[in-house]
Amino acid sequence: MFAFQNPHPNLIAALESGGYRVTAPRRAIANLLEQKQEGFSVEALSDELPSVGRATVYRTIKLFHAAGVVCKLATINGSHMYSLCRNDHHHHHTVCVECGAVEEFRVDAVERLIRQISEDIPGEIVSHHLELYVNCGACPETKGK
């Protein structure tokens, strides 16, 4: 049911196959991303990479997002964050409200449900957002309570 972290979401490959140059800053960003289990804001990412200009980090994440290798998700407070995309197919996310860990899940029942709702409302559903906020039960923050 779940797609837990596939070990090699290849960001560099995504650049190459998109016809983009593989530069030192992009490599540094990709390396950092590949070891992240949690969701992150571009700002925080940029702080972790002082040698790369802020604008470049924003531009690169936007690139990865367009290529479909990172996904954008909403936080509980309405701002948004990104996470590595480990799953080719349409999927949804759980976000731990304590530690920020992001998991992907794909439940066909969600799509079925949306199709069903679609029959009951006027107009046509063109897209949807679904995010689940959890206490993952595995992070130090949760265990400490």
Partner DNA sequence: TTAGATGCAAACGGTTTGCAAACCA
Partner DNA sequence: TGGTTTGCAAACCGTTTGCATCTAA
36 contributes a contact to DNA by CB under 7 A: no
Between CA 7 and CA 21 the distance in angstroms is 24
91 contributes a contact to DNA by CB under 7 A: no
Query: Taking the complex as a whole, how short is the minimal distance between the CB of residue 139 and a copy of itself, in angstroms?
Result: 9
- Spatial CA neighbour of 137 closest among 92, 84, 98, 83: 98
Q: How far is CA 109 from CA 59, 71, 82, 106, 143, in A?
A: 36, 21, 25, 9, 31
Q: Which does 59 bind (CB under 5 to 8 A by kind): DNA, a copy of itself, none?
A: DNA
Footprint of a copy of itself (CB under 8 A): 1-2, 72, 74, 76, 78, 80, 94, 96-97, 103, 105, 107, 109-110, 113-114, 116-117, 120-138, 142
